[in-house]
Amino acid sequence: MSQSQSRLLCRELSLLAFNRRVLAQAQDEQIPLLERLRFLCIVSSNLDEFFEVRMAWLRRTKQRAPQIPLINGELPDTVIANVTVEAHKIIAEQYRIFNDELIPALRKKGISFYPRSSWNEGQQQWVAEYFRHELLPILTPIGLDPSHPFPRLLNKSLNFAVELEGKDAFGRLGGMAIVQAPRILPRILQLPKELCDGHDGFVFLSSILHAHVHTLFTGMNVKGCYQFRLTRDSELSVAEEDLENLGVAIAGELQDRQYGDGVRLEVADNCPEHVYNFLLSHFHLSKDELYRVNGPVNLVRLMAVPDMIERNDLKFKPFTPGVPTSLNKNHNLFDVIQQEDVLLYHPYQSFEPTVRLIQQAAEDPEVIAIKMTIYRTGSSSDLVKALMKAALAGKQVTVVVELMARFDEETNLNWASQLEAVGAHVVFGVFGYKIHAKMALIVRREQGQLKRYAHISTGNYHQGTSRIYTDLGLMTCDDDITGDINTVFMEITGLGQPNNLHKIAQSPFTLHKMLLDSIAEEIEHAKAGKPARIIAKMNALVEPTIIEALYEASQAGVQVELIIRGMCILRPGVKGLSENIRVRSIVGRLLEHARVFCFTNGGQSKVWISSADWMGRNLFRRVEICTPIETTDLKHRIIKEALLLALSDNQCAWMMQPNGEYQRIKRTGAEAPVNMQQTLIDRYSQQ
C-alpha cells in the first residue's frame, strides 16, 4: 500500500458502492423484470436517505470543523467533492437504465409508461377527468411576488416551477409561480386497460399536471413548467439541557425535520439554467448539489408498480416460510422451549412463531410479566397488540420504545401512547444511547416458582420486514441468558452501575472488549500453530480499532472472512497489511441483515448472534446485545447456513478490492451454481 493511501476507506463512498451493487440488480437479465424495477427504486430510496443523513452530516461537519480530517484522513471538503462526483455518476446511470433498458423491456411485456406526447384521445380524456376531479380542487398555485414569498416546501415533495407571462386580473405581471403536488395523491396512476389495448399502462402525476397546468393561470401564457424536488437534512436534534419529556421533544422535532436545510435539488433535465439557478439560490445550494434527471424526479414512487400488476411471470416466484413441526399451532411454545432452544432463520422460516410466543404469553394465566424492546415494528403490529392485550389482562408489561429510531419516530410515538393508555409501563430508553437490542423476556409461574423465557433477535420486531430481511431469532429459557436479559432491562429502566453478565456481551459496556479479546485469542492460536479463523457477517464495518485488530490478525496468519452487505472501510488483500482478509457482499432477492460472528478458537468454535454491526455507534452509543449460541446442533447450523453458504455463493456475491471497488464473483465452468438465498428458500419454505 502506498503512503498516500489511508489504512481506512471513505465511509460515504463505500455506502455508494453498495448502491452500485444494488443498481446492478436492475440490469441483471436473470432477475424477473418487475423485480429489476424494484431494485431501481430501492436505489432511489437508499440515495434519498444517503443525502438526508450522510451528505447532510458531511455538510455540517465541513461547517463545524473544515480543517479536521475525517476517518479516512481526508478533509470534509475533499470527501464531499469525491462523494458528489460518484453520486452524480450513479444517478445518471440509474436513469439510463430506466430509460434505455427497463422501459423498452417492460413495453415488450405489455407494460407501458405513457409520456404526454403519446396519449391517444381516450387517454387524454381520462387524464383531463382525473385532473378536473382529483387534482384541480386541491391545488394551490403560489405566484411569487412581494405578497407571496416562496412557500416552505416539505422534504422530498414534488413541486413545479412555472414560468408565466402576461397580466393577471389584478394587473400583476407574470413571472414565476410554484405549484406543490398534494402528497395525498399517488405519483403514478394506472390507466384503464381498455385505453391501453388491453395492456397495463401508467401515467405520472407530473405528466398530468404538466398537461393541464395552464388551467391554473387563467389568461396567462405558461412559458414552461418544470418539476423539482428538494432533499433536506433530516437529522433530529434534541438537547439534554432542560429536557423534561423526550416524547414531547421528539414530537416537536419531527415537524421541523420536514424543513431542514437543503442538501440536494433535483430538476427535470429540460429545466432551463435561469430557473434552476433561481432555485439553487433560494435554497442556498451550489451547482454541484444540482441533479438534472431524464425522467420523474422521484423514482421511489415506481415501487408501487409491481404490486399494481398481476404478472407473476415477471416477479420472483413466491414462497411460504416454513414452520418447524415442533412449533405448529397445536403446541404450547413454552413446553417446546423447555425441551430445547429454538432457532428460526427468517424469512426462510416463518416469523409467526415469534408473534405467537408473545400472544401466548398475553393469554397464558401463568405468565405474570412481559418485557420487550421496540425499535421498528411498523404501523400495524400484532406483537404490540398482544402486549396491549397482556396489559389489559393485568400482567406486568414493560416496553422500551426507542423514539430515536430514524424515520420511525412518529410510529413509535403512536405505539407508546397506545401502550400507556392500556396500562403498560413505557420507557424511552437512556438519553444519548439508542436502544437497538432486539429482545423480549417473559416471566411465568411454574409449579410455584418463576421461570424466565427469552426471545433474542438480530433484527427488528417488524412483521413486514421479516418477510424480506434475513435475520436469526433465538428462543431460550437458559437461566444465565434470561438472567442477563433481565439485567439489561433493569439497567435500561432503572439507575445504577453496569452489572456483570454471565454470557451475553453488551454495548456500550463489554461488547467492544469481547470482540477485541476474541480477535486477540485467534492471533495467539495462529502463533501457536492452532486453527485460527474468523468469519463474521454483518451490515457494516467502520469501527477503526476493530479494523486495526483485524489487520493485526491477518499479519499473524489468521484467516479472516468478512461477509458485509453494505459499508466497509477496511482495505482487504493488501500485502503486508491485510492479505489474509477477504470481504464479500451478498446482494440478492432478500436483504442480508443477520449479524453472526464465529471465532474458530483453536477448534472449539465460538458463535454469537447480535443486534450490533461493527460500527462506533453500535459499540459505544447504543444498547446492543450479543448472545452466544452454545447448543452444538444450532451452532453448526448457523456456521453452515449463515456463514459457509455465504462464502460459497457464486450467484449473488461480490468480492471487495483493496481500493474499495467490488467485482461480481463469477463461477468457473467446473463449479456448480450456488445461490445462498435460493438454497435456503428451497430448504425451508413450504412451496
* Cα separation, 456 vs 475, whole angstroms: 7
The rounded distance, in Å, linking the Cα atoms of 248 and 262 is: 25
The pLDDT value given to residue 404: 60
Cα–Cα–Cα angle for 488, 494, 496, nearest 5°?
85
Answer whether residue 562 is part of any domain: yes
Q: What is the percent of the chain where pLDDT is above 70?
A: 93
For the segment 600-611, the average pLDDT, to the nearest whole number, is: 95
pLDDT of 378 reads 75
Confidence of residue 168 (pLDDT cuts 50, 70, 90): low
Strands 449-457 and 469-476: antiparallel
416/553 same-domain check: no
For residue 177, what is the enclosing H or E element?
Answer: strand 176-180
| CA dist., res. 344 & res. 350, Å (int) | 8
Tell me which residue of 320, 302, 286 sits closest to 189, measured CA to CA.
Answer: 302
Whether 634 maps to a domain, the answer reads yes
Tell me, yes or no, whether 163 and 222 share the same domain. yes
Least-confidence region, from 342-351, 404-413, 665-674: 404-413
pLDDT score for 406: 57
CA distances from 83 to 98, 231, 268, 683 (A): 23, 16, 22, 41
pLDDT of 169 = 61
393 and 254 in one domain? Answer: no
Instruction: Write out the H or E segment, with its range, that includes residue 395.
Output: none
Q: Which residue among the candidates 210, 212, 346, 436 is catalytic per the annotation? A: 436
Mean per-residue pLDDT of the chain: 91
**DSSP of 5-52, one letter per residue?**
S-SB--HHHHHHHHHHHHHHHHH-TTS-HHHHHHHHHHHHHHHHHIII
Whether 78 and 4 have beta carbons less than 8 Å apart is answered as no
For residues 29-36, give the mean pLDDT: 96
Largest Cα–Cα separation, the chain: 90
So what's the pLDDT on residue 249? 42
In a domain, 5, yes or no: no
Our answer to whether residue 282 is catalytic in this structure is no
- Convert the pLDDT of each residue in 498-512 to its tens digit: 788 999 999 999 999
The more confidently predicted of residues 20 and 461 is: 20
pLDDT digits (tens, 9 = 90+) for 230-260: 999 887 444 444 444 444 444 444 444 455 7
Instruction: Report whether 476 contacts 453 (CB < 8 A).
Output: yes
Chain segment 49-85, per-residue pLDDT in tens:
999 999 999 999 999 999 999 999 999 999 999 999 9
Confidence (pLDDT) at 495: 75
Percent of the chain with pLDDT over 90: 77
Confirm if 250 and 45 have CB atoms less than 8 A apart.
no
If asked whether residues 482 and 394 sit together in one domain, one would say: yes
How many CB atoms within 10 Å of residue 169?
8
SS3 285: coil
**Mean pLDDT, to the nearest integer, of 176-193?**
92
Domain end residue (candidates: 472, 500, 528) = 500
CATH of the domain at 38: 3.30.1840.10
Residue 395 has pLDDT above 70, yes or no: yes
Q: What is the pLDDT of residue 328?
A: 85
Q: Model's pTM, two decimal places? A: 0.92
Question: Which CATH number does the domain housing residue 597 bear?
Answer: 3.30.870.10
- Give the range of the structural domain holding residue 496, as residue numbers without chain letter: 325-500
Quick check: 557 and 580 in contact, CB under 8 A? Answer: yes
Lowest mean pLDDT among 400-409, 469-478, 594-603: 400-409
Residue range 613-671, pLDDT digits in tens: 999 999 999 999 999 999 999 999 999 999 999 999 999 999 999 999 999 999 888 88
Q: What is the pLDDT of residues 267-320, one digit of tens each?
A: 999 999 999 999 999 999 999 999 999 999 989 999 999 999 999 999 999 999
CA dist., res. 153 & res. 179, Å (int) = 10
Q: Are 197 and 266 in contact (CB under 8 A)?
A: no
Determine, yes or no, domain membership for 4: no
- Whether residue 32 is preceded by a cis peptide bond, meaning omega within 30 degrees of 0, is no
125 and 50 in a single domain? The answer is yes
What's the rounded Cα separation, in Å, for the pair 5 and 15? 19
Mean pLDDT confidence for 358-386: 91
Whether residues 546 and 657 share a domain: the answer is yes
Q: What is the mean pLDDT of residues 104-110?
A: 96
In a domain, 320, yes or no: no
pLDDT at residue 503, rounded to an integer: 97
Of 275, 295, 314, the last residue of a domain is: 314
460, 373 Cβ separation under 8 angstroms? no
Asked whether the beta carbons of 378 and 405 are under 8 A apart, the reply is no
pLDDT band at 171 (very low <50, low <70, confident <90, very high): low
Flag whether 1 is in a domain.
Answer: no
d(CA 342, CA 81): 49
Mark whether 546 and 634 lie in a shared domain: yes
Q: Which of 142-156, 191-205, 515-529 has the lowest mean pLDDT?
A: 142-156
Boundary residue ending a domain (441, 470, 500): 500
- Count of domains observed in the chain: 3
552 burial level (CB within 10 Å; 0-12, 13-18, 19+): middle
Does pLDDT of 557 surpass 80? yes
Radius of gyration of the chain (CA): 27
Query: How much is the average pLDDT of 534-562?
Result: 98
pLDDT at 143: 84
User: What integer pLDDT is reported at residue 1 of this predicted model?
Assistant: 54
Choose among 280, 161, 156: nearest CA to 226. Answer: 161
Residue 184, pLDDT above cutoff 50: yes
User: Do 598 and 494 share a domain, yes or no?
Assistant: no
Band (420; pLDDT cuts 50, 70, 90): confident
Residue-level pLDDT at 408: 59
Q: What is the pLDDT of residue 146?
A: 59
If asked whether residues 158 and 252 sit together in one domain, one would say yes
Residue 670 covered by a domain? yes
- Residue 183 is predicted with a pLDDT of 87
- Round to whole Å and give the CA distance between 523 and 518: 9
Task: Please tell me whether residues 157 and 294 are part of one structural domain.
Answer: yes
Find all residues with CB under 8 Å of 668, minimum gap 6, and list them: none
Buried b / exposed e over 319-347, threshold 16 CB at 10 Å, is bebbbeeebeeeeebbebbeeebbbbbbb
Claim to verify: residue 488 and residue 611 sit in the same structural domain: no
Residue 144 sits in the same domain as residue 281: yes
- Is residue 574 a part of any domain in this protein? yes
Query: Mean pLDDT over residues 543-566, rounded?
Result: 97
